[in-house]
Amino acid sequence: MNTIFLLISLTTIASAIAAMSLRNLVHCVLCLTLTFVGISLTYLQLSSQFIGFAQVMVYVGAVSILIIFALLMTRSGHELTLREWRPMHWVWGTLITLGLLACLGLSITGSSISGKVASPEKTESVKALGEALMQEYLLPLEAMALLLTVALIGAALVALPASHHPPASKGGTE
Amino acid sequence: MWFEELLIAIKASLVLKAPEGLRPLVSAALSTMPILSAFGGLFAVVTLLERKMLGRIQNRYGPNRVGPFGIFQPVADGIKMLTKEDIVPKTADHLIHFLAPLVLLVTAMLGLSVIPFGQKLVAVEFEAGIVFFFAVGGAAELAVFMAGWASRNKYALLGSLRAIAQMVSYEIPLILSSVCVLMVTGSLSLTEVVQAQSGGITSWFVFTPWGFLGCILFLISTLAEVNRSPFDIPEAESELIAGHMTEYSGFKYAVFFLAEFVAMFAMCALTATLFLGGYHPPLPVLSIIPGPVWLFSKLMLLVLLFIWIRGTMPRLRADQLMEFAWKFMLPMSVINLVSTGIWIALDGGLLGWLVTGACNFGAYLGLSRWLADHPNHRKRVYRYADGPINAA
Amino acid sequence: MMVTPALLPYLLFSACLFCIGLAGVMMRRNVILILAGIELMLNAANINFVAFWRFHPGAEEVSGLIMVLFALAIAAAEAAVGLALVISLFRHFRTTNPEQMEQEVPS
């Protein structure tokens, strides 16, 4: 097997396990960011540069910062989750996860798709991506723009403090 | 061309001398070492230049003790930084406290790898080069959070949150104003962008209406991204001491400083590449002088502009800063995109100039007038003990 | 330069990441980290898409990458809305532990 692929994938899996099991929540998020960077390196190894860099830009640059801000605003950054550690949860969770992993692994290795070899000259062309987005996938692109606008406005509205709501219901039911 | 070919020939001969298996590694090292050493030396020169120039703007001499005209001041600064005691707070998160300046420095230096310094002198040739640059710029925000969080200092945390908010807000006008150039060039690769501006000063993108506005927006966003005055709330001494860098001393502080300056150089080099023609000379007859010299002179011009702005303008408040980003720069960059589209549709020419210029200028006038009507921006009324006095 | 290995290691890698994300969703007692686990699962599925795009013989096919682009954008929007909801929940229940968020029963 390829050494670079082994290195990247083992680091990513290790940091994902760390992200899901560490007790200090900010350390979890930083390991999650490392996982995202590892996934971006996997995209680069699969010779899709644009998606790899977009992954860093979106996930490391934006989603991680979002998660960190949410952690700090809900004051979860300072607590440790030690007191909620219940062994049975972890045992059952690990068992279910390993079972699912076994199922997926068996079905992947048993199928004929996984015998495919890389076609040597498949490279990503940003021009082809742009043309496909503008011609064939124009409707999903516009729907995505609408979705992102709605998400932006909705998230801002939902997270606003509700201090400006007039207390009208009290007088109405009395 | 002779300089670039000379450099490529030297590098090829050195790579051939290495054993077979190590050749990619040696090639990569030979590509990156000149860049790192050049920008490291430039950092030292610019710290001195900034202090001298700020001093002159403020009607005083800058540092002039350590050598003739203070030339050895950077050496003295380096010795001071290296020999200072490295104090880390006892309750700080030691691993993250240690990693934060490193991550900031690495992301700043990674941005230098996609900038074309000459005809074939790019460290890494990516088809999506500019996306790489902005991606590592976005990763710098995480390092700022790490620095503020690991210090276990509420003021450092507040300072780092403010810095992150500022960097995130100004990232959007930064990227949008560079998209105009990419629209006209039709490619995401920086070498293509520079190739589209070959042929003298008239083909540089800054001398078109959309390019002019784009360049100004890009420069202002660069000032905000590297936390430089007038956007230096995160690192000004009168605000939260030093923000996210409060608990750092000695060499780690020097690394933060270095990272900020290298990020500034990288963004100035990107501005020169996108808008000012990159490594091309203003007149084709001057191409005897090698390409990197032109790029570095444009870069130094922009750095001098930044130092000039720092010495001249007062600092913006945090809410003024955010309002400026979201209410002025974002609409202006979107309108710039639209006018670039109009330019491409009209294929340049006189009609394109008129329509695009009118669109940009009209947008600027309208937006600034509309924003100036905000109650926060009206003239203030001062009330003294003996009755109100209206400001004239 | 880099030799791409066969398709199988990438599929196993993404299956591992998916299961780890699922484990995080099931076992963590903090709503924000549950959301982080969901993001990890989405990323694992994206790796699958890119791997299948790379190993597809057609040279002009970009539909795999288009799917990944859309999934990336949707995941980012979902993270934003989800975290805003978490902040709103915290204001109401004063906790981020899903076990302590009990619905008030109207009496």
Q: Name the residue facing C88 among A76, A93, A158 (closest C-beta).
A: A158
Q: What percent of chain C stands above pLDDT 90?
A: 51
Lowest mean pLDDT among A128-142, B309-323, C50-64: C50-64
Cis peptide, bond prior to residue B173, ω within 30 of zero? no
Mean pLDDT (whole number) for B55-71: 88
% of chain A surpassing 90 pLDDT: 47
Query: In the predicted model, what is the mean pLDDT of residues B12-17?
Result: 84
pLDDT reported for residue A159: 84
Domain extent, residue A18, equals: 1-80
Q: Are A60 and A36 contacting, i.e. CB atoms less than 8 angstroms apart? A: yes
Which chain C residues are within 8 Å of A117, Cβ to Cβ?
6, 55
- CATH number, domain of A71, equals 1.20.120.1200
- Please tell me the total count of domains within chain A: 2
- Determine, for residues A26 and B149 on separate chains, whether the beta-carbon distance falls below 8 Å: yes
CA dist B322 to A80, B40, B126, B168, Å? 34, 32, 33, 10
- Find all residues with CB under 8 Å of A16, minimum gap 6, and list them: A31, A32, A35, C16, C17, C20, C21, C40
Classify B162 as helix, strand or coil. Answer: helix
CB contact under 8 A, A62 and B138: yes
Record: contact A54-B127, CB cut-off 8 A: no
Report chain A residues whose CB lies below 8 A from the CB of C81.
151, 154-155, 158
Per-residue tokens: C64: 């795999």
pLDDT at B85 (0 to 100)? 86
The answer to whether the CB atoms of C62 and A55 lie below 8 A apart is: no
Question: Do residues B149 and A26 make contact, with C-beta atoms less than 8 angstroms apart?
Answer: yes
Q: Is B141–A69 a contact, with Cβ atoms under 8 angstroms apart?
A: no
Residue C33 with chain A: CB contacts under 8 Å: 20, 25, 28
The domain spans of chain C are: 30-94
Share in percent of chain C as helix, strand, coil (round to 5): 75, 0, 25
Give per-residue pLDDT as tens, B287-335.
Answer: 788 888 999 999 999 999 999 999 999 888 888 889 899 999 999 999 9
Residues A71 and A4 in one domain: yes
The answer, yes or no, to whether residue C1 has pLDDT greater than 50, is no
Residue to mutate among A48, A59, A65, with most B CBs inside 10 A, is: A65
Q: Are residues A73 and A132 in the same domain?
A: no
Whether A76 and A22 map to the same domain: the answer is yes
In the predicted structure, residue C61 carries a pLDDT above the cut 70: yes
pLDDT category at A7 given cuts 50, 70, 90 is very high
Please state, in angstroms and rounded to a whole number, the distance separating the CA atoms of residues B316 and B229. 8
For residues A71 and A130, state if they share a domain: no
Residue A76 in any domain: the answer is: yes
Kindly give, in sequence order, each residue whose CB lies less than 8 Å from that of residue B206, ignoring residues fewer than 6 positions away. Answer: B212, B215, B275, B276
Nearest CA in chain A to C5: A2
pLDDT tens column, B102-119: 999 999 999 899 999 988
**ipTM for this prediction:** 0.91
Which of A27, A53, A69 is opposite residue B135, by nearest beta carbon?
Answer: A53
Query: Mean pLDDT for chain A?
Result: 83
Helix (H) or strand (E) holding B293: helix B291-312
Classify residue A171: in a domain, yes or no.
no
Question: What is the arithmetic mean of pLDDT over B352-373?
Answer: 88
Which pLDDT value is given to residue A170? 45
* Mutation for A interface: B93, B130, B142, most A CBs within 10 A: B142
What distance lies between CA B33 and its chain's CA centroid? 21
- Substitution target in B149, B179, B225, B244 with the highest count of A β-carbons within 10 Å is B149
Which residues in chain C are contacts of A154 at CB distance < 8 A?
A: 81, 84
Q: Which of A30, A61, A127 minimises the CB distance to B139?
A: A61
Instruction: Find the distance separating the first CA and the last CA of chain B, reported in whole Å.
Output: 62
The answer to whether C20 contacts A13, with C-beta atoms less than 8 Å apart, is yes
User: What tokens does B242 get?
Assistant: 């030093």
Instruction: Give the pLDDT confidence score for residue B31 in this predicted structure.
Output: 87
The answer to whether residue A108 sits within a structural domain is no
Tell me whether residue A94 is in a domain: no
CA distance C102 to chain A (A): 17
CA distance to partner chain A, nearest, from residue C55 (Å): 5
Measured between CA atoms, the residue of chain A closest to residue C25 is A20
Cβ of A14 under 8 Å from any chain C Cβ? no
Contacts of C83 in chain A (CB under 8 A): 66-67, 69-70, 155
User: For A116, which of C55, C81, C86 is closest by C-beta distance?
Assistant: C55
Which among B107, B110, B127 is the top mutation candidate for probing chain A, defined by the most A β-carbons within 10 Å of its own β-carbon?
Answer: B127
Of A52, A80, A108, the domain-final residue: A80
pTM of the model: 0.90
Whether the CB-CB separation of B315 and B166 falls below 8 Å is answered with: no
pLDDT score, position A98: 93
Q: Do C76 and A100 touch (CB under 8 A)?
A: no
- pLDDT above 50 for A174: no
CA dist., res. B182 & res. B379, Å (int): 42
pLDDT at B242 over 80: no
* pLDDT band of C77, cuts 50, 70, 90: very high
Strand partners, B390: B381
Over residues B77-101, the mean pLDDT reads 88
Mean of all residue pLDDT scores within chain B: 87
Structure tokens at B74: 């950077």
Tell me whether residues C15 and A43 touch, CB distance under 8 A: no
Residue of B127, B145, B187 with shortest CB distance to A49 = B127
Lowest mean pLDDT among A5-14, B276-285, C79-88: B276-285
pLDDT at res. B62: 86
Buried residues in C79-101 as b, exposed as e (16+ CB within 10 A) = bbbbbbbbbbbbeebebbeeeee
By the 10 Å C-beta count (0-12 exposed, 13-18 middle, 19+ buried), A25 is classed as buried
Helix (H) or strand (E) holding B388: strand B387-390
Q: What is the pLDDT of residue A8?
A: 94
Burial of A50 (0-12, 13-18, 19+ CB in 10 A): buried
Question: Chain-centre distance of CA B145, in angstroms?
Answer: 20
